[in-house]
Structure formats: structure tokens, C-alpha cells
Structure 1
Amino acid sequence: MAEMPREYETCRLCPRACGAHRAEGARGACGATSTLRVARSALHFWEEPPVSGEAGSGAIFFSGCTLRCVFCQNAEISAGNFGIDVSVARLAQMMFELESQGALNINLVTPGHFAPQVVEAAKAARKAGLTVPILCNTGGYETVETVRLLAQVVDVWLTDFKYADPALARALSAAGDYPEVAAAALKEMLEITRSRGGRSLGEDGRMLRGIIVRHLVLPGHVDDSLAVLDRVWDICGNEADLSVMNQYTPNAACRERGGDLARALGDDEYEVVLDHADDLGFERMWWQQGGTVSESFVPAFDATGVEGPELAS
């Protein structure tokens, strides 16, 4: 039996530093114990072009989350903790199954609160012959220490930068320290990427190494979006790709809450943010055309691809 990672004894893997003894079955601020829990493992076609391409990204969605975003579209797994318990060996095997399906990469979605076991699984998969890049798909609310831990296996960082205003971050994600935490995490991702030679693409256009910073524009909060882009530019300039998203769709909680978050984003609001990105000088920017509905980008969390054989040791 594998030894329990020491990080779970008094957990400080995320910025909330809750101190939960997850190794003994306590749940952390993320909602998870020390048992790996996965909600879906399947090809995903709705990421940015260097990630999904035409073949798809091999997305593994972990249960639990360290943020509490009121507008979350994945609440079933982020707060509801839907998923199936899996072993480290099974997680490694999932990576091979996705590669065999033609995945351009292994896309680890919100893996930070399981970082020690995720790293162990990815190392085992690499040792056994996994060849595709590994992505860390994160909400941006990560400690520098956890970024460094994940960097042992991560090639590409697909990270959110949600807020520049602490008050807004506190109101919408219960994380007033989000702007500073996300900035520190992004700086670390950049330093790691630089140390390895910087951004790199394969012949097929897939990202082999690099950073994509995502920002979801929220209705009524364009000023904060502009400040986010300023912050990202100051940190990364054109060393990171930028993805500006307009797919905000109010969930039931936001519709009940009322105000700007009860409506969709206006085209004029989105254009203001895109224009600001252009003015700053971003050269590699992804945006969404036409009206998008975020539910159309949310896969069915039905445990697809989770159960199966384990990777032999």
C-alpha cells in the first residue's frame, strides 16, 4: 500500500490553508478527503484551439474545488462532490486510455487539491510510456508551493485570472485574496515555463509547453475585466496566450440573486474588453464569436471513463 502523502496530514495545499487532516478522512475546504475522486474522463472539444484542436483534449475532471463561485456551471462536481473514488494507479491508466483515444494532451481539470497523488499518477504514466503533454486546468487560486509541486509533471498551464478587485472576488468566490494569489501563481508558472525554454507548439498546432490565461467577462463588471487584463499584461506580456470568454450564463442562484449577474453578457461589454486587449498589445488572443451559452460547453458529469482497470506496476 502506498504511503499517504504528508500534505494531507494538515492540509495547506490551497490558499485557504484549512489544516484539515484529510489523511484521516476529514474534508478540507475543497470538500475532499485524501481519496482521489473523479467525475469524468473523456475527450473534450471545447477548449482553446492549441488545446483541443480537432482531435480533442483528454479531460479528467476532479471532484471538489477550493473556490465557491456563485456563477459556477460545474457545481455538481465542484460543490456537490459528485464523482467516483479512484486509486493513483487507476488515474494513471485513465491517462493512457485518453491517449489511445487520440487525445492531444491530458487535461487535468482542478487537480490542485489532489496534487500529490496527481503527480504520482502522472509520473507513473510517463514511466510507462505516456507521450502527450500534460495540462493543469485551474481556476488560478493556487499557492506557489502547489504550482511547484504540479510543475514536476505539467507542461502547459491553462489558468483563469478571474478578478482584479478583492471585494468582487470576496463577493463572488468567497476569496478576497484571489487577485494576489492568482498573480503570484501566474508569475511562478511563467518562471517555470521560461526555465524550460518558453512557449512551444507541435507541428499539428497543439501546445507542448506554455501558458494560456483565461478570463470570463462578467456582465456589469467590465471595469474589473479591464483591470485583470492590465494585471496579466504586466506579468506576462506576450509570453502567455490570452483567452477572453463571453460564455457567461446565469445559473439558478444568479437569476435568484438578481442584478447584473442575472443576465447574459452584452455584446458591447465584450467588445470593450477585446478592444482593451488589443490596445495592450496581446498578439495571441482567443475569443468567442456570436452568442455562446456556457451550458453548451459543460459535459455530462456521469462518471464516463472513470471506472476500469488499473495500470500494472
Structure 2
Amino acid sequence: MSHGSTKAVLTAVAGNSLVTIAKFVGFMLSGSSALLAEAVHSLADTANQALLYLGLRRSVRKADDEHHFGYGQERYFWNLVSAVTIFFLGCVYTIMHAIEQLRHDHSPEISLIPFLIIGFAFIVEGYSLIVALVEFKRQYREAGKTFRQYFVETKDPTTLAVLIEDSVAVFGLLVALAGIGLAAYTGSAVFDGIAAIVIGLLMGGLAYFLASMNRKYLLNHSNEEVDEVARKIWQADGQVQHVQRVNSIVLSPEDTLLMAEVELREETIFSDMTQEEIARAIQFMHKLDDIRRSLEGDVSRIAPETKHIFIEFTTPQDKPDKA
């Protein structure tokens, strides 16, 4: 588990918890829909980042009899749960409350308190954003990529999620500040309500982005970089005639499953062999292929849902010694 990612998440959880309480207090004192929207936004951020941390913790568990390739995809699952259940609900609730306020033309009681709370939130969420940005910068530099490349290609949703959430949170504060400020200046609830609706739409957009980002890694997304590296290395190897197929699945940001079919050159396999030995070797290879097909067929007949089977044979000397 990345220490930097964990630090970014925990910083965000702590900061958003304080900000959430402050914003709800501000809403109760002022009745501002924009401040309520920001409070719901911060609550959603806090719950989401708590789920990010849960995903980080659960994803590092070792493989077992039920999960042969480990629990790396837990990170993507909890991010997806967070996006769908928290942000969409927060988005819908916030917009509905703002529309209700506009229908009844309820003017918030604007005082200095909402502005102080927004200022406090700027400081806390701004610091959290800086922590996430520093960690994200470290990650894309280690990967040898630009900010834009890593933003699009990263397989670690955690730090990116915190970075995006904090960026949206800071922008949402600017929207709330504008809405409350205009409401105080004009005495109209319209600006406060519009600001709340904009914040709700921001939450919905963020939810869609996070859900889309994590969804692809729960659908056996390939690791294009690993595929390309494997192809280039094997095709350049003098022992290889042809790379027939390379497949990969991203199990976690630190774990990729790679499968391939590689055709070797005959001169590599049969060098220093007599014609009789070559004939026997070819016969042996055909026998192995027949055995493999037979084993695959036996499983497929009984369990037809088994569409992809990869069997690796071991030679007698590869077998572990029996006690």
C-alpha cells in the first residue's frame, strides 16, 4: 500500500470531517442552500475518502483459496461504491433542496458566519489539495510521465480521486461564496439556490468521472504498457519466431496478470540435436499439445462457462521434493 496515497487519503478525511461540521453549523445558522450543498458535498467527500482508505487496507490482503490473485481490485470496488451511492445521492438531494427553496422564495439569513466558514474551508481543503497534488506529482515523475499523461493513464484511483475531489471542493467553495455573496447583496434567494444547484451538478459530474474511472478496472482492463513491453522484448529476442498473443489484466496498481502465446524458432529448440532427436522432440511436443487440449476439453465439457484456460506444464525436476 502506497504510503503517499494513504497520507493523502487520511489528510483528506481529517480535513473534510472538520469542514463538514462547520458547514452544517453554518447552514443551521443561515439557512443557505449553497452552504447546505457544500456541507453535503463535504460529507460525501469524507465518506468517499473513508471508503478509499478501506479499499486501500483491504486491497493489500494476500491471495487465498477463494481469491487466487489477491484482493487488489477491492480498491476499485470501494471507489465505485462511493461514487454511485454517495455522490449521486448527494447530488440529487442538494438539487432537490435548492429547487424547493427557489419555489418558496426562502431568503437565507446572511451574516458574517457563512463567509468565515467558507474561509475556514478554503484553508483546510486547500491544504488537503496541496498534499494530494504533491503526492500525485511524485507518482507521475516516478512513472516518467507528464501530469496529463499520468492523469489519463494512472491505474491508481486513490490519489487521483482525492486530487479531483479536493479540486472540485475548492471550486465549489468559490461557487458558494459567489451565490451567498450575491444573495446578501441583492436580498434574493435565487443566487443562493442557483449556487446550490451548480454544486449539486459538480457532485454528479464528479460521481460519473469516478465511477467511469473505476468501472474499467473491474472489467478486466488490460495493461497496455505491459503488453507493449512484452511484445517488444520477445519480438526482439533471437529465440522467438512470432508472438502470437499477449493478454493482460490489471489486478491492482501494483499487480498485473500477463498471459501470452509465443512461437519459438526451430533452430533455437532443435539446435545441437540429431534428426532422430528432432523427430522425437516434435512427437513429444505434439503429445503435450494433445494432452493440453484434452485437459482443457475435459474441464469445458463439465464447466462450459470456463472460456479461457491457461495450463503450464512442469517437468519432473520442477516438482517440489516430497517429504
TM-score norm. by structure 1 comes to 0.27
Question: Which of the pair is proportionally richer in helix?
Answer: 2
Structure whose CA Rg is larger:
2
Question: Which of the pair is proportionally richer in strand?
Answer: 1
